[in-house]
Structure 1
Amino acid sequence: MREIIFESENLKVVKVAGTRAGVAFVTFEQMRPQEHCIPGRDGFGEVFFAKRGFTAYHFLPAGNDWYHYPETAQALALVRADIPPDVRVVNYGASMGGYAAMRFSEPLSAETVFALAPQASVDPAIVPWEKRWGPRGPALLWDRQAPRRAARHFVIYDPLSQDRRHIELLQREVPMTVMFSYFSDHHTTEYVQESGLLQQMLLDLAEDRFDPAALQAELWRRRRSTSVYHFVRPRKVRRGLRRLRYYALERLLDWRYRPVRRPEDGGGPTSVAPAG
């Protein structure tokens, strides 16, 4: 059943109760075209979690304001109070939603954070080099709210993009396990989804069996199955020196993430090389 547990002019939080016990997801939307911010829209990953019986809470902002609303703290407190203390909380979001998933991990007492291309800040004083987006108003309420250090943070991003600078800032605040979506630019969510691994990653997180090294290797090997890779990579190799650099990088990664054949498994490619 879909239930609104918080609603204001700026923010709505929807709960969809599931049948599976032991884990609850809290999701945060990424930026979207304003015309797509319709009141009755689904939350981030709502259909997926509902079909698989997971309880999920979906934060739906009225606009692309990076959740900088005074009432956000009240909404977070209501969600935390609604989740039983013995249930693991997994925060999940991408870009603006990844920012929120990390920044709000402390008030939600999240055990795990899964963030795709999370941004560290939208404060021009902190990220003066970030010109892609910025604060939509004067209030910057959550930039300095540190992520929960007790949580496990799993982050996927393209180290060849400007997102690298955001991750470097976040790594100064909290330890994290990083995975790379090479040649995705900021389209990390689409890249991972098109690879066919996003659903597996979410299920692995729910069942507490997430294996970053194996998933990283498989994500690299599936890159050519994504339209994002075929769109982004040609844009990075227009000049001779860069073309050579990225050719060498791909060959190195092909070797690093190659299947490992073990004699005890009959010589089949049953494991992967570690993600170094």
Structure 2
Amino acid sequence: MSDGFEEGRILFRSDDLLVRQVGEIAAGGAVAVTFDCYGDWHGNAVKEGFGERHFAINARAAIHVMPRGNDWYQYPTTEAALAAVKQAVAGAARVVAYGSSMGAYAAIRFADRIAATAVLALSPQYSVDPAKAPFEKRWLQEGRTIAFRPELDGPIRSSVRPVIAYDDRSIDRRHVDRIAADIAVERLPLPFGSHPVGLALMEAGLLQPILHDILDGSFDGDAVRAGVVERLRGTSTYWAERARAQPRWLKWRAVGFARRALALAPQSPLTHHVLATSLDRVRRYTESLPLHEEVARLSDRQPGYLRPYSFARARYGDLEGALALAREVSAADPGRARNHEWEAWLLGMLGRAGEALPAIDRALAIDAEPPNYTKLRDALIAGAPLRRLHPYKRARA
């Protein structure tokens, strides 16, 4: 393989997890153990691990732990996979657990199990189990359907004090507060750093120095915190997140912040997306829709960007155009119940209840808990008005 990617050595493989080592771990040296983040997973085929190219290019040994799906590592084989990692790193002097979001959750929780000496966690969750983190609404489908294992998702026990980088203006602060109630942590707050904060750190030129300093044992948190806000203000992520954070009564100001973000990263689908959705909020659809189309092009029609494009089309009054996009999203991301709900609502609004019912049934087959799915199905059968069941507000959460 090329461009810094090699298959490496497989240390563990099950139906749930794949663990690969790339590079040789020097006796008395340092090694990174990465836990992959939320993504588009298709089994445990060999693929790049989190940050793999960076470690390979910098001749750093790394072990990559990769799950088969977005299950927050709640597998019966997780303990065996971690034991394989611990055995592989036995000769290293420094073992750094590293991950982002779902991977950061794992890096913190499993640090002791892999004999980690340090942790770098970017935007971790305490849990996505609604019973443990009822304030978390971003991964509700996963939180309701994952079978959480008490030995993997109970109170955190760790002899390592993790460095946690997170957006302290977001809900991520509540997760960090919960983590800090269980163990000692070193906080690296990044106001308007978004979720996850890795992109903001990269834009600010901070991610690689922080990671390598932690690997080398020379990390100085006070020095990083002292200049972090000024560094962030020069990033597109900071201004994009400020745009998204504006309340309803300041939604016009969001457009100006979004334009600043786009000027800093004119080829980024994210900055185009933030400006498009900011314009949607002030109903300037003739300006926003071409931007949504550009986002689709720049992102190779990524479903996460096509969904808000479909909402904008619907709000503009183009229900047929919105439906075409909704069907594209459902086909590209069929495991997401809310995509089928949106398709069903649009079909119902177009008077095509016969086609809408199979779509809402697909949503219920994936996730039967949300009451709005059942209410939409009942309304479609009864021929009742559907406007009050519009999924848009839930989709923005």
TM-score normalized with structure 2 length: 0.57
Give the alignment partner of residue 148 of structure 2, picking from 130, 140, 146. Answer: 140
Counterpart-to-counterpart distance in 1, 2:102 and 2:121: 10
In the TM superposition, structure 1's runs of 4+ consecutive aligned residues that sit over 4 Å from their partners are: none
Give the alignment partner of residue 128 of structure 1, picking from 124, 134, 137. Answer: 134
CA RMSD of superposed structures (Å):
2.0
What SS does the corresponding residue of 2:143 show, helix, strand or coil? coil
What SS does the corresponding residue of 2:240 show, helix, strand or coil? helix
Give % identity: 38
- Residue 17 of structure 1: how far off its partner (Å): 1.9
What SS does the corresponding residue of 2:104 show, helix, strand or coil? helix
1:89 aligns with 2:95: yes
TM-score normalized with structure 1 length: 0.80
AA of the residue aligned to 1:178? R
Q: Where is the helix percentage greater, Structure 1 or Structure 2?
A: 2
Taking a change above 3 Å as real, the CA distance of residues 38 and 192 of structure 1, as seen in their structure-2 partners, is: farther
* Contiguous gaps of at least 5 residues in structure 1: 244-276
- Residue 86 of structure 1: how far off its partner (Å): 4.8
- Residue 225 of structure 1: how far off its partner (Å): 2.7
- Residue 38 of structure 1: how far off its partner (Å): 7.7
AA of the residue aligned to 2:185? M
- Residue 19 of structure 1: how far off its partner (Å): 6.4
Q: For each residue in 1:130-175, what CA deviation from the matched residue of structure 2 results, as whole angstroms up to 9, or x when unmatched?
A: 1101337442121115241x21210011111001110111001100
Counterpart-to-counterpart distance in 1, 2:229 and 2:64: 30
Counterpart-to-counterpart distance in 1, 2:105 and 2:232: 25
Contact conserved, 1:105 with 1:151, CA < 8 A, in 2? Answer: yes
Q: For each residue in 1:79-132, what CA deviation from the matched residue of structure 2 results, as whole angstroms up to 9, or x when unmatched?
A: 101112452211001110010001101211211111011100111111112110
1:225 aligns with 2:234: yes
1:186 aligns with 2:195: yes
Contact conserved, 2:23 with 2:61, CA < 8 A, in 1? Answer: yes
AA of the residue aligned to 2:116? A
* Contiguous gaps of at least 5 residues in structure 2: 1-5, 254-397
Q: Which residue of 1 aligns with 2:37?
A: 30
- Residue 223 of structure 1: how far off its partner (Å): 1.1
Q: Where is the strand percentage greater, Structure 1 or Structure 2?
A: 1
Contact conserved, 1:93 with 1:115, CA < 8 A, in 2? Answer: yes
Contact conserved, 1:30 with 1:93, CA < 8 A, in 2? Answer: yes
Give the alignment partner of residue 152 of structure 1, picking from 148, 161, 166. Answer: 161
Q: Which residue of 2 aligns with 1:257?
A: none
Q: For each residue in 1:37-58, what CA deviation from the matched residue of structure 2 results, as whole angstroms up to 9, or x when unmatched?
A: 7833210111111122222110
Contact conserved, 2:166 with 2:172, CA < 8 A, in 1? Answer: yes
Contact conserved, 1:123 with 1:135, CA < 8 A, in 2? Answer: yes
Give the alignment partner of residue 110 of structure 1, picking from 116, 131, 144. Answer: 116
Aligned length: 239
Return the structure number with greater relative CO, CA threshold 8 A, min gap 6.
1
Contact conserved, 2:123 with 2:165, CA < 8 A, in 1? Answer: yes
